[in-house]
Structure 1
Amino acid sequence: MAHELNFNEATGQYSFFSVKEIAWHGLGQIVQDYPTSAEALKFAHLDFTVEKRPIFTQHTSNLYNDGEDRRIIPNISVPDYFATVRQDNNAVLGVVGKDYHIVQNTDAFTFFDAIVGGEGIQYETAGALGKGERIFITAKLPGYIKVGNDDLIEKYLFFTTSHDGSGSITAAFTPVRVVCANTLRAALADMTNTIKIRHTANAQDRLKQAHRLMGISNNLSNEMDAIFNQWSKSRISDSGVKKLIQMALAPSKEVLANVKADQMETLTTTFNNMVEAAYDYGMSNPTQQMNTTAGTVFGAYNAVTGYFQNVRKYKTDEDKVKSILLGGSAQIKTQSAFDLCMEVSKKGEEFLQFNFN
């Protein structure tokens, strides 16, 4: 099933909702107005609870040692391991250890509501994958980041957690350009735009404090506003844009060293094609020809983020989410682009030519 959305056979519905936009593959509910957290929970069919249940195995013994008459000894407990099970349909979601603590779906929405006192959060999408073992939520925070005169960036939070022991609880601040839906990744000096919480005894308490740790409620968007506006005033040549893209997309230290040394004949066709696609997006896409992007460091950064968001092809929607938001190659390389842009805005374009450290 390519879309991998959870299908609840009892209700006959997919676990997904989206505000106004067409949901994944036309599945799930489309609602016209932003729901409350309680409504979003129901629209996405995430209103189920998960519990840990003991695991048992059966032992088979030969009664007469002749292989014909066998006796089954039931209910042998498996120590220190438990099954995570949905209470609404008894679906087994995974196997976890004794120290694993469940964070319920309702706790995920509580995280969002705590940020601005339950007011102003706009839930845009939510859903579940597989049997319900992974859930995800995106919500928009109040206000915009404004770059220059007319480039608006909406402030989003992305949240995902699993019920099968496969990963941490992850919350990420992901600004999105209104004009072309670029997801902008950025790690700032005194705070983080991403937080990961393990499923341990204090998970719920840490989740309640997550927005403070991320600086979401005060300084994060202000600092990003200042950085992006500084980049929009930092000029860079066309050749500088290409060099920055090459350095950001380099798949290894060896390739990066060759790019820095201008040994372009060593670069593969696949790598060059990827660079050209990002460069063309940055230089010719209509969304990039705004006066806040063209010929600036901010435009170079958007060339990289826009490539991964709007040009590169992914096998599935889930692959795209994993690559961009969950530590995949897109996230790593856009972070590299962010770091390079920070240096160029401080030291000038010469940094790209003489950075051999």
Structure 2
Amino acid sequence: MTRETLTWLNTMTLIGHTDRRGTAWHYKASEQGGEPNHYPGAIPLKDVRARLFNWEGVHRRVAVELPASTFTEATHYGLDNKPMRWEVIGNRSALDRSDRDTGAVFGVVGPDYKIHQYSDWLLENVAGLLHDGLSVSSAGLLKGGAVAWVEVSVPENLMTDEGVEFRPNLLATTTMDGSSATVYKRTITDVVCDNTRAVALKESGAEFKVRHSKNSELRLEQARDALQIVDTAADEFRRQVAELCAIAVTEDDWQLFLDRTVPWGTKTGKPDNDYMRLLKEERRENLTYIYRNDPRCAPWHGTAHGVVQAVNTYDHHVRLPQKKEDQEPDRVSSWRTDRNLQRTVDGLFDELDRETYLDLEAVLEQAA
């Protein structure tokens, strides 16, 4: 995981519709320079292009350092002061950004890897498909530009009969470090908790992927299908919330759920040491407090929806980093913000919701 600074997050991410869903976790006006990165309404496409995607990904040649057999072929001396030479590897290239000359690269790939330029894959293809009901609601870069996303959303928050406020989105994301394909995925922002979660908890959220192969291209029909996902997501989400709110969870069920997700003892059956037991007690207490009292979850206490919200809220806003240096008070906020953004782009919060639901389902089946 990267360690984005507050300055980066306040200049290299753009957050829209703040008049409806508020500011981002990382909002800090003093870190934004002369141009705010938060927009009361939709984010203009020209701003995304000018502020984030004003460069291209490029292939750069890769060379390996080898011993020189003669002084005439040597290009330099190695660390041991012996003559060395550089030999270009023809079937490998380094991925980098066109505006950088520092030598830092995103990753090394093979000859068939095709760069999906952010301006093309995340802007141009989506721009031609936006209609009156959809607009860019967020966009950003992570890992120095190796990861990028653009989120398309409806202009108004929606509400279920159970009082859950939400917003259906299309998340378009890709990378320039060879780590993942280009993904177009349906997400739902639960405004009560400001979390992105999957519409379908039992199955993967609707999405399609395009690999970075040499013949890859995004067909217009595929993009239209992606936007169709957004247009029809509201009804699916309402149905899913209704189903989750209809599943009763007793206090005994909740205790069994804690025993399953934060179990006592090690995997080998040994008792926890004092430190691990203290950590688990703290986590169980935090989860229980959020589930029963936090306004982002308490209205649905006693339902499966409340359980899913409690775990998601804890993971977003309470969980602490494992590394001690990141646990310093002045670093936790930055760590959490970066982690939340990265996990949203990677779809890991969706996976967390699905795992929570499956754990709860197993507990309820056991208790039945």
| C-alpha separation in 2, matches of 1:249 and 1:206 | 45
| C-alpha separation in 2, matches of 1:153 and 1:177 | 4
Task: Write the deviation string for residues 175-233 of structure 1: whole angstroms up to 9, x where unpaired.
Answer: 12222313323546787345443211344327972663696145443222211112223
Match of 1:197 in 2: 210
| C-alpha separation in 1, matches of 2:65 and 2:216 | 34
Which consecutive residues of structure 1, in runs of 5 or more, have no partner in the other structure? Answer: 8-12, 259-266
User: Is the 1:95–1:165 contact (alpha carbons within 8 Å) kept by the matching residues of 2?
Assistant: yes
User: Is the 1:243–1:352 contact (alpha carbons within 8 Å) kept by the matching residues of 2?
Assistant: no
Match of 1:339 in 2: 358
Amino acid at match of 1:52: H
Task: Write the deviation string for residues 150-193 of structure 1: whole angstroms up to 9, x where unpaired.
Answer: 32112233343221223332343331222231332354678734
User: Is the 2:162–2:245 contact (alpha carbons within 8 Å) kept by the matching residues of 1?
Assistant: no
**Please, what is the CA RMSD of the aligned residues?**
4.1
| C-alpha separation in 2, matches of 1:272 and 1:56 | 53
Match of 1:120 in 2: 133
Match of 1:263 in 2: none
Q: 1:284 aligns with which of 285, 290, 293?
A: 293
User: Is the 2:290–2:310 contact (alpha carbons within 8 Å) kept by the matching residues of 1?
Assistant: yes
Match of 2:303 in 1: 296
Q: 1:212 aligns with which of 214, 225, 235?
A: 225
- 1:98 shift after superposition: 0.5
Larger RCO: Structure 1 or Structure 2 (Cα < 8 Å, ≥ 6 residues apart)?
A: 2
Instruction: Label 1:193 to 1:248 Cα distance change in 2 as closer, same or farther (>3 A).
Output: farther
| C-alpha separation in 2, matches of 1:294 and 1:352 | 20
Moved more, 122-131 or 92-101: 122-131
Match of 1:15 in 2: 12
Q: Secondary structure at the match of 1:175?
A: strand
Q: 1:48 aligns with which of 39, 55, 62?
A: 55
Which consecutive residues of structure 2, in runs of 5 or more, have no partner in the other structure? Answer: 271-275, 327-334
User: Is the 1:191–1:213 contact (alpha carbons within 8 Å) kept by the matching residues of 2?
Assistant: no
User: Is the 1:168–1:198 contact (alpha carbons within 8 Å) kept by the matching residues of 2?
Assistant: yes
User: Is the 1:143–1:155 contact (alpha carbons within 8 Å) kept by the matching residues of 2?
Assistant: no
Moved over 4 A (4+): 4-7, 22-26, 56-59, 67-74, 142-145, 188-191, 248-255
Matched, 1:320 2:313: no
User: Is the 2:170–2:230 contact (alpha carbons within 8 Å) kept by the matching residues of 1?
Assistant: no
| C-alpha separation in 1, matches of 2:355 and 2:136 | 30
Task: Write the deviation string for residues 100-159 of structure 1: whole angstroms up to 9, x where unpaired.
Answer: 110011111245446x53443332332223432222333423555532253211223334
Instruction: Label 1:303 to 1:6 Cα distance change in 2 as closer, same or farther (>3 A).
Output: closer
Q: Secondary structure at the match of 1:286?
A: coil
Choose between structure 1 and 2: higher strand proportion.
Answer: 1
Amino acid at match of 1:15: M
Matched, 1:108 2:116: no
| C-alpha separation in 2, matches of 1:5 and 1:167 | 25
Moved more, 30-39 or 319-328: 319-328
Q: Secondary structure at the match of 1:77?
A: strand
Instruction: Label 1:82 to 1:202 Cα distance change in 2 as closer, same or farther (>3 A).
Output: same
Percent of residue pairs bearing the same amino acid type: 17
Task: Write the deviation string for residues 8-43 of structure 1: whole angstroms up to 9, x where unpaired.
Answer: xxxxx9433333536555544324342232322223
Task: Write the deviation string for residues 24-76 of structure 1: whole angstroms up to 9, x where unpaired.
Answer: 55544324342232322223x222111223334576343399x99998766x4
